[in-house]
Structure 1
Amino acid sequence: MTTLVACSHDTRSPAGRAVIARIRAALAAAVPEVEVREAFVDVEQPEVADVVAEAAAHGPVVVLPLLLSTGFHTSVDIAAAVAPHLGATVAAPLGPHELLVRALRDRLAAVSGGDAGHRPGDHVVLAAAGSSDSAAARAVERMRDLLAARLPAPVTVGYGAGCAPTIPEAVAGARRAGARRVIAASYVLAPGHFASLVEGAGADLVSAPLGDHPAVIAVAAARFREGAAAGRIPQGIVP
């Protein structure tokens, strides 16, 4: 049996851990033909390298990054965990993906009564975790383009770390540009450090993290199947 290693960034937030556990459970239901195991790339245990090594001794392994863009964790931590094992491969991270627009729009609608990004004077800030990896910034910009194509309001990007502008800077920039209402679209998976940064950035409204939205689970299942079919490390992820 193929093992799907659902690898996420750790969080000390109990609410965040619960959300990631729900994502794994929903993913296991979406791809019942595989065994889904948890792994992490930072503080929490078990570490991805240990999980991959154990699973690879028994059959094929696909590591699915439960991350919204590429970056250090995919290109270094996860790639290094997979590299020693011929039967292991890495799927692409969840974003950017057209289906995630549906999740973002539903979260925006939930926080605004359905009119976020549609009221005159609205400005949406796509609030991402951020990374010093330029490929991660390009991935977020692509997600911005996908969201902007579905909203009449201007959409700009703010980052929690790693690159500019920061989320507070993006919110302030939207107000300088004349926005009457600034809505932060949380482009994070779960409650935790980065979700708190979004909440404290000064926007008028802040959407909830994407969590286990059905679109997130559909993307995760698709990424797994693509990775399993390719049987190789996707372009841009170098061991």
Structure 2
Amino acid sequence: MTLPTLVACSHGTDSAAGRAVVTTLAKRAAELVGAPLAETFVDVQHPQVDEVVAALEGPGVIVPLLLSPGYHTQVDIGRAAAAREDVVATGTLGPHPLLLDVLEDRVRAAGLDHSDRVVLAAAGSSRPEAIARVSDVRAELAARLRVPVTAGYAYGASPTVADAVAHARGTAGRVIVASYVLAPGHFANLIANAGADVTTEPVGTDPRVAEIVAERFREGVARLSCTH
């Protein structure tokens, strides 16, 4: 049986390094599941998700290469999926235990000490559901690391990453920023320039994230099988 197309839908970026990370992630996931791949975007880059879904030959599963739900998942991706009966959209990549594994491993690799403080740095959103998901990840990461972890946002929510770093510095030996964005680009740059002693890499550079994409794809295939 021919599998549906994996429609890997990311935000889009002007960063060449960010584009390379996202493309590598999408290709790795498609190889894991053995499905045809179509890369698409909701902003900045083309082709956009509506036109890719409209042009699909056969069924498709849209996997948002986004860490939290928000406007793009509800509006852009939701609209594209609703346009065809043989297309479904899955949940976002986070929260997920593998993402927490990546965050924890990278913070510990920075030489985490009991006197250090950690800021979980997310892209940010005005949507409460996105903030709630980041809050869940923050709580889980704090439980794993056993040091105080606060959240900061690059855009669209408060506190900013810079404010969270400044606040943490008053009680810390060092401040480590755990970068909770997918790939290099505008948000990652804002996070890297927030004044922390250490800033980890965007999570999408870890090969384990492709396993999450593959898992989401399989969930979407199961939903398609139940409805057709």
Taking structure 2 as the reference length, the TM-score comes to: 0.94
Letter in 2 for 1:189: L
Paired residue secondary structure (1:149) = helix
Structure 1 unmatched runs, 5+: 233-239
Tell me which amino acid in the other structure corresponds to 1:170. Answer: A
Identity within the alignment, %? 51
CA distance in 2: counterparts of 1:131 and 1:78, whole angstroms:
16
What's the counterpart of residue 44 of structure 1?
Answer: 45
Which secondary structure does the structure 1 equivalent of 2:145 belong to? coil
Aligned to 1:236: none
Q: Tell me the equivalent position of 1:16.
A: 18
Structure 2 unaligned regions, length at least 5 = none
Conserved 8 A contact 2:25-2:207: no
* C-alpha displacement of 1:120: 2.5
Q: 1:138 aligns with which of 132, 136, 155?
A: 132
Letter of the 2:91 counterpart? A
Q: Which amino acid aligns with 1:226?
A: E
- Aligned position for 1:237: none
| Residue equivalent to 1:82 | 81
What is the one-letter code of the residue matched to 2:78? A
- Runs of 4 or more, structure 1, over 6 Å off, are none
Q: What TM-score results when the alignment is normalised by the length of structure 1?
A: 0.90
What per-residue deviation string (whole Å, max 9, x for no partner) do you get for residues 66-113 of structure 1?
Answer: 000001110111111111111110010000111111111232244x2x
- The letter of the residue matching 2:210 is I
- Give the match for residue 27 of structure 2: 25
Q: Which residue of 2 aligns with 1:198?
A: 191
Alignment-derived partner of residue 229 in structure 1:
222
On the 8 A contact 1:91/1:228 being kept in 2, the answer is: no
Q: Find the residue that maps to 2:121 and give its secondary structure.
A: strand
Which one has a larger percent helix, Structure 1 or Structure 2? 2
CA distance in 2, matches of 1:69, 1:231: 23
Output aligned runs, 1:1-239, within 5 Å: 1=2, 2-32=4-34, 34-55=35-56, 58-110=57-109, 112=110, 115-116=111-112, 119-176=113-170, 178-231=171-224
Q: Kindly tell me the number of residue pairs found equivalent between the two proteins.
A: 223
Shift of 1:8: 0.4
Tell me if structure 2 keeps the 8 A contact 1:98–1:146: no
What does the per-residue CA deviation read over 1:28-68, in whole Å, with 9 as the maximum and x for residues that have no partner? 11111x2111000012111110111111xx22111000000
User: What is the root-mean-square deviation in Å for CA atoms of aligned residues?
Assistant: 1.3
User: Which amino acid is the alignment partner of residue 17 of structure 1?
Assistant: R
